[in-house]
Amino acid sequence: MTVERYGELGSAARILLGPGPSEPDPRVMQAMITPVVGHLDPAFLNVMNDTRDLLRSAFATANRLTVAMSGTGSAGMETCMVNLLEPGDRAVICVNGAFGERMAEMARRTGAETVIVRAPWGQPIDPADVEEALKQGGAKIVAFVHVETSTGVCQPVEEIASCARAYGALSVLDAVSSLGGMPVRIDEWGIDAAYSGSQKCLGAPPGLAPVTLNDRARERIARRKGAVQSWYLDLTLIENYWGEARAYHHTAPISMVYALREALRVAAAEGWEARFERHRRLGRALQAGLAAMGLELLAPREYRAPVVTAVRVPDGVDEAAVRRRLLAEYGIEIAGGLGELKGQVWRIGLMGYSCRWRNVVLLLSALGAVLRDLGIQASVDEALSASAEALAAGD
């Protein structure tokens, strides 16, 4: 075999405006070339300590058990499910999109009895429906998604978390698309367990899943009748590696931890509230521009997340062909729909370093141009004007 056929790696530059991954800050990529050391090297243990402290700041929590699991956001989801559920347990899972469906599937695979609370895709979960499910009794957890990545719906958190606690269940929050771009206040909201991913609003490459559990959740794990189904995701073992014991569990992805630490450091230096406001204002500006272009946004305004926007595809338009043109002609990546929305929506993300005014202007201009070529009335001038007005007004 000759190596000539395998050229040097050099992917084309992209403007990442899908729902993840987002474009990392150059400082994050620079951090990844820091020399690799052993995963129990004192220098790396200090990096882990910093990362753990910064994650607590991101989650707005004092939880002792706050770690970065090796794996993507789905590994964080599965970590919560396999640690908190045993065969025969009852789990109330809120489903209003693809990632609620994924939580339900993971809960089923633990052997738990899964009670589904549904809302239409594009709508939030009704807390009254959650309470009705809890009235059946015996629920160990109530799990729900903060920002449903498949629809752009932002779920109000506190009422569901309060309801779970009132019925003796643990609340489990999917914060994969929200952490680092929107307020996620674990202690204030009374959330017992939450997970996220490194590659979205936190602004690191994919590969780590921040997870945090409070003492109520830790006690539930300690009272398990059997071992956690997954050795790799067993928090009783992972906690001993990230904690003071420093007991060997697995070889941590050293360079990814460097990247996450730097991404968190950059975010903390910006200021969490300033970062949330940047995402809010630019997300609303993008949405105003899309609406002025004549496009329909899926989520109702009052439940519309600023970090992920789902846009209905105009009748007669091949949504995949539009995405291909955006990528080929403008280097812009957006995503199509998932599940029951496949072929019906585009999903646009403004996350982390990708959340910039320049990118809003580029996306609106490029999308408008492609749609006009397809015979769709889409005024770029009106879109940019509405977007700029929304940005200036702070709406």
Total of domains in the chain:
2
pLDDT of residue 378: 87
Question: Does residue 75 share a domain with residue 183?
Answer: yes
Q: In which residue are the tokens 């997300």 written?
A: 283
In a domain, 2, yes or no: no
Indicate whether 228 and 325 sit together in one domain: no
Give all strands (DSSP E) within the chain, no chain letters. Answer: 15-16, 65-70, 90-95, 113-118, 139-145, 147-148, 153-154, 170-174, 193-195, 208-213, 308-312, 332-333, 335-336, 345-349
The pLDDT of 18-27, averaged and rounded, is: 97
Token pair 């360079």 is found at: 255
230 and 101 in a single domain? The answer is yes
Q: Do 92 and 175 fall within a single domain? A: yes
Give the end of a domain, one of 210, 242, 268: 268
Are residues 308 and 262 part of one domain?
no
Q: Could you tell me if 184 and 321 lie in one domain?
A: no
92 and 214 fall within a common domain: yes
Can you tell me the mean pLDDT for 339-359? 98
Taking a C-beta distance cutoff of 8 angstroms, is the pair 245, 92 a contact? no
Q: Is residue 242 domain-shared with residue 348, that is, in the same domain?
A: no
Q: What is the CATH number of the domain that holds 164?
A: 3.40.640.10
Query: How far apart, in whole angstroms, are the C-alpha atoms of residue 127 and residue 378?
Result: 38
In a domain, 70, yes or no: yes
Same domain, residue pair 293 and 242:
no
Answer whether residue 328 is part of any domain: yes
Q: How confident is the model at residue 283 (pLDDT cuts 50, 70, 90)?
A: very high
Q: Is the pLDDT of residue 3 over 70?
A: no
Distance CA 221, CA 211 (A): 14
Percentage of the chain modeled with pLDDT above 70:
99
> Which residues form the domain of 323?
271-393
- Whether 22 shows a pLDDT value over 80: the answer reads yes
244 and 311, same domain (yes or no):
no
What pLDDT is stored for residue 277 in this prediction? 98
CA-closest candidate to residue 142, choices 105, 170, 103? 170
DSSP 267-315: HHHH-HHHHHHHHHHHHHHHHHHHHHTTPPBSS-GGGB-SSEEEEEPPT
Using the 3D structure, point to which of 235, 268, 301 is the last residue of a domain: 268
Q: For residues 43 and 17, what is the distance between their CA atoms, to the nearest angstrom? A: 35
Residues 238 and 289 in one domain: no
Reported as a single tens digit per residue, the pLDDT across 189-211 is: 999 999 999 999 999 999 999 99
Report pLDDT for 187. Answer: 98
**Domain contains 15:** no
Give the least confident one: 13-17, 107-111, 194-198, 286-290. 13-17
Q: Is residue 9 part of a domain?
A: no
Report pLDDT for 1: 58
CATH number (domain holding residue 374): 3.90.1150.10
Report the pLDDT averaged over residues 100-128.
98
Parallel, antiparallel or unpaired: strands 308-312 and 170-174 = unpaired
Q: Is residue 24 part of a domain?
A: no
Within a domain: residue 259?
A: yes
Domain boundary residue, one of 236, 268, 300: 268
Task: Tell me the pLDDT tens digit for each residue of 68-101.
Answer: 999 999 999 999 999 999 999 999 999 999 999 9
Q: Are residues 262 and 279 in the same domain?
A: no
Instruction: Tell me whether residue 21 is in a domain.
Output: no
Lowest mean pLDDT of 51-55, 158-162, 244-248, 316-320, name the range: 244-248
pTM: predicted TM-score of the whole model, two decimal places: 0.97
